[in-house]
Amino acid sequence: MNVDDLQWQVGTLGGVLPRLVDEIRDRGGLEALVQAAREREDWFCAAGAVRELCAAGEFGRAWAVVEPFAATRWQPAVRVGADVLVRWGRVDQALELARPEGPQENAVDASRDYAVVLVRAGRVEEAIRLLGADVAARRYGPQNNVGSYAELLARHGRIEELRELADAQRYSAVVPYVRALENAGQAGEAETYLRDLIAAGNPGWHENTLMELLIRQGRFDDAIKAVEHTFDDLYDGNLLQRALILLADQGQHGKAIGLTEGRSPEFLAENEAYWLRSNRWWLMGESGRAREAIAEVEALPADEVDDRELTIAWLLAQDARVEEAIALLRSLPGKRAATDLAELLIRQDRFTEAIAAIPDVTAQREEARHLRTNGQQALSPGANHIGDAPSAAPNTAPQE
């Protein structure tokens, strides 16, 4: 098993996309995932199969799926393997697997994963001390151990310690603190805390966290009002796309579509062709207006619509013209068309055929190399593609 291939899958969402794995699993395609994990060495299929097998109490089979991956000592596989062993009751074996092996590139991640095993083993105080020492020494790691430490405190009701961490570390601890307050029935206090941070001009995505809090409470207009001042921003602080996604998640497609209209000329000139129209068509397709969206696409010159055929195929499927969409997608080259085709096949419970339609990791890496060689940009994990929920936001959160 090639660790470089495994890392590439995680770094680029290569192989079978996690959302497709989830659809296959939810529709009863477990055996197809197990087969893909074994024959294609597809990590996302393996992880999905393990989750389903553990949920069914089949820990022996789950370990058989993940063991070849964990044997490479690749940290994500070690993490999943240790979780399986703990749930299987083999705590000592899990601790042995998760125990960091001295200095290594992913030592901070390994410490976090070992702390997790210490918690399902009942050694909470030891885990808190371990992560607390990492935070105190500013050993944050790629996934930021401040966030892991904050989540651990939140799960065990350490609200005061969590507040102190949030005040000291800001971004990564703020979201767990807000969630902890909300879960404790103190949403008003959480809102006040966030508004005070915003008013103080502290760095971080506190407007986004406030919007999420308000939307979870069903206060859609208040959420929009809290962040609408960013919607025509041409820079990283723009929260329009995030607002569209959150509103759509709550079934508020009409409100979301309305936000795609009335934007400033400067914003439209910079963004309309890149993502705004694509988001609008996605929302229309999700809300029963696929034919109207197709008409908008077809009314534009072909060279003004990125991935025109892929967009039309997705909208055809949303309009219940699935066979037309499948026929169109089969005629198109590349991973993106194959992925869309697989999604339609999954919806017809044709799981093995769907996975086979997706190029394996070797073929995908070759396609990516070809695109780079020819000066094109391969699809990145956050790229907006009609038919997918758009990326959560165009920029990344600050690190401590």
What is the reported pLDDT for 335? Answer: 86
pLDDT at 124: 67
pLDDT-above-70 percentage for the chain:
81
**DSSP class of residue 161?**
H
What are 7's two structure tokens? 């890392």
DSSP-derived secondary structure for 242-288 = HHHHHHHHTT-HHHHHHHTSS--HHHHHHHIIIIIHHHHHHHHHHTT
Residue 106 has a pLDDT of 53
Cα separation of 222 and 224, whole Å?
5
Q: What does the block give as tokens for 91? A: 């705590």
For residues 260 and 284, give the distance between their C-alpha atoms in angstroms, rounded to a whole number.
11
Q: What is the pLDDT of residues 249-288, one digit of tens each?
A: 999 999 999 999 988 888 888 777 678 899 999 999 999 9
pLDDT of residue 400: 37
d(CA 328, CA 153): 51
Q: Please report the pLDDT score of residue 81 as a whole number.
A: 94
Answer left, alpha or beta for residue 13, where phi above 0 means left and psi between -120 and 50 means alpha: left
Q: Burial, 381: exposed, middle or buried (Cβ in 10 Å; 0-12, 13-18, 19+)?
A: exposed
pTM (predicted TM-score): 0.68
pLDDT at 385: 45
pLDDT by residue, tens only, the chain of 400 residues: 899 999 999 999 999 999 999 999 999 999 999 999 999 999 999 999 999 999 999 999 999 999 999 999 998 999 899 999 999 999 889 888 878 765 554 555 666 666 666 667 666 676 676 666 666 555 544 345 677 777 777 887 788 888 888 877 666 788 888 888 998 899 999 999 999 989 988 666 799 999 999 999 999 999 999 999 999 887 778 899 999 999 999 999 999 999 999 888 888 887 776 788 999 999 999 999 999 999 999 999 988 888 899 999 999 999 999 999 999 999 998 888 999 999 999 999 999 999 999 999 999 999 888 888 776 544 333 334 444 544 333 333 333 3
Cα–Cα distance measured from residue 28 to residue 24, given in angstroms and rounded to the nearest whole number: 6
Contacts of 370 by beta carbon, 8 Å cutoff, 6+ apart: none
Q: Tokens standing for 365?
A: 């890496």
